[in-house]
């Protein structure tokens, strides 16, 4: 394996250029899918790297359950600096597993909490929360919809049901929007549900927990997912300026929601406003071209190839390390 076993831990740095270029030059749909794929592959590779180091590190601990042959010098020689790196990888891998597990648990818990919040409301595609208005009730109080809170989010449906889900919005927000702007808001949230954006965002969040170097990809994916929903809403409405006004008004109205929207905050990317001025400016400009492969001689093209190269090297290094360690362990362990 050699020093190549450490490459997947630092190669996510090569994806940083594409995080910036994707948000500026690629179509939001393409950018979201690309960023999610890069984050998933690099996170898996870096986690595999830690697991391989743990095998060597654990084999040297007294009382370990692994075969004695796994602590043979030939096995330790497969990993450079085995005594330091192998033992340091044990708490690192435990921390990664704990962080990723906590992210997944929190996502499921928040979805259950949001589902309970609207369980008592009418079974329509839109749930309106707000004291004194239609749809108010115990579920709304459980969601923390305080009087005057203005927010909206897309609540995904049960797992395996594509397109299922509900748009949750407070009456306070609806009262601040014109009829056309309300339709734009609903179109935006329904775009989140139709494209299952919560899956992309959950993958990038878990990847960033597995390797902190992937944090910029998570931030960029959260922004491009919002832009994707913006463009879908603009296409459905046929009026980009109306969508821009709806986003701006919703952001201004929601700025004072604070603790009154805990479910909205917990769902993170499902309802994140993102850099609103940038989104509004993008909607006031012409619609982005839906090109999927930028030219190599452009900034996004160079960034894409840089990230693709780093991902390929990371995957190859992980595969090489895994195969090498398996062969060494097989040779060291008599059958």
Residue linked to tokens 């008599």:
334
**Coil vs helix vs strand at 16:** helix
Does residue 22 surpass a pLDDT of 60? yes
Q: Are 193 and 270 in contact (CB under 8 A)?
A: no
Give per-residue pLDDT as tens, 76-94. Answer: 565 555 567 777 888 899 9
61-75, 134-148, 154-168, 215-229 — most confident range: 215-229
Query: What is the per-residue pLDDT for 265?
Result: 40
CA distance 211 to 100: 10
CA distance 257 to 272: 13
CA distance 312 to 325: 20
CA distance 244 to 250: 10
Query: What is the per-residue pLDDT for 241?
Result: 93
What mean pLDDT is reported for the chain? 77
Q: Give the containing element (helix H, strand E) for 294.
A: none
10 Å CB burial of residue 5 (0-12, 13-18, 19+) is: buried
Give the chain's length: 335
Does residue 325 surpass a pLDDT of 50? yes
Give per-residue pLDDT as tens, 229-249. Answer: 999 999 999 999 999 999 988
CA distance 141 to 139: 5
Q: Please give the structure tokens belonging to residue 297.
A: 């001689």
Say what the pTM is.
0.80
Q: Which residues are registered as beta bridge partners of 152?
A: 169
Q: Give the containing element (helix H, strand E) for 60.
A: none
| Confidence band for 10, pLDDT divided at 50, 70 and 90 | confident
CA distance 67 to 65: 7
Q: Are strands 152-156 and 165-170 parallel, antiparallel or unpaired?
A: antiparallel
Share of the chain above pLDDT 70, in %: 68
For the chain, the structural domain boundaries read 2-332
Does residue 137 surpass a pLDDT of 50? no
- Helices 16-25, 215-237: inter-axial angle, 10-degree rounding: 10
Q: Are 311 and 213 in contact (CB under 8 A)?
A: no
Contacts of 269 (CB under 8 A, 6+ apart): 197, 198, 200, 201, 205, 221, 222, 225, 226
Q: Please give the structure tokens belonging to residue 153.
A: 């989010």
Alpha-helical (H) ranges within the chain are 7-10, 16-25, 28-59, 73-76, 82-117, 138-143, 171-174, 179-194, 197-210, 215-237, 240-254, 262-266, 276-284, 299-332
CA distance 74 to 226: 52
Query: What is the per-residue pLDDT for 136?
Result: 42
Q: Please give the structure tokens belonging to residue 10.
A: 């630092």
CA distance 101 to 97: 6
Give per-residue pLDDT as tens, 89-128. Answer: 888 999 999 999 999 999 888 888 877 777 766 667 888 8
The closest of 225, 205, 223, 224 to 215, measured between CA atoms, is: 205
10 Å CB burial of residue 313 (0-12, 13-18, 19+) is: middle
Please count the other Cβ atoms lying within 10 Å of the Cβ belonging to residue 95: 13
At 292, phi and psi to the nearest 5?
-100, -20
Contacts of 224 (CB under 8 A, 6+ apart): 22, 23, 26, 28, 31, 32, 35
């Amino acid at each position: 394996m050699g020093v190549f076993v450490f490459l997947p831990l630092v190669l996510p740095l090569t994806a940083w250029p594409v995080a910036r270029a994707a948000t500026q030059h690629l179509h939001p749909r393409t950018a979201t899918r690309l960023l999610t794929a890069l984050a998933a592959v690099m996170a898996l590779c870096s986690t595999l790297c830690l697991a391989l180091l743990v095998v060597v590190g654990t084999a040297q601990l007294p009382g370990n359950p692994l075969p004695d042959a796994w602590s043979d010098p030939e096995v330790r020689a497969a990993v450079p600096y085995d005594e330091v790196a192998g033992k340091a990888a044990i708490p690192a891998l435990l921390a990664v597993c704990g962080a990723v597990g906590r992210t997944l648990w929190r996502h499921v818990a928040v979805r259950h909490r949001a589902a309970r919040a609207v369980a008592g409301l009418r079974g329509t595609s839109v749930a309106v929360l707000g004291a004194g208005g239609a749809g108010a009730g115990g579920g709304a109080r459980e969601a923390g919809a305080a009087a005057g809170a203005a927010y909206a989010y897309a609540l995904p449906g049960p797992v395996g049901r594509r397109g299922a889900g509900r748009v949750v919005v407070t009456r306070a927000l609806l009262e601040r929007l014109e009829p056309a702007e309300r339709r734009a808001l609903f179109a935006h949230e329904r775009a989140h549900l139709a494209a299952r954006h919560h899956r992309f965002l959950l993958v990038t969040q878990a990847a960033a927990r597995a390797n902190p170097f992937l944090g910029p990809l998570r931030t960029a994916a959260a922004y491009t997912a919002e832009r994707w929903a913006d463009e879908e809403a603009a296409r459905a409405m046929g009026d980009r300026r109306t969508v821009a006004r709806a986003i701006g008004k919703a952001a201004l109205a929601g700025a004072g929601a604070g603790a009154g929207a805990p479910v909205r905050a917990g769902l993170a990317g499902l309802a994140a406003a993102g850099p609103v001025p940038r989104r509004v400016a993008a909607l006031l400009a012409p619609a982005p071209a839906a090109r999927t492969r930028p030219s190599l001689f452009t900034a996004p093209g160079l960034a894409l190839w840089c990230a693709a190269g780093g991902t390929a090297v990371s995957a190859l290094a992980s595969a090489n390390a895994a195969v090498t360690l398996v062969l060494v362990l097989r040779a060291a362990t008599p059958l």
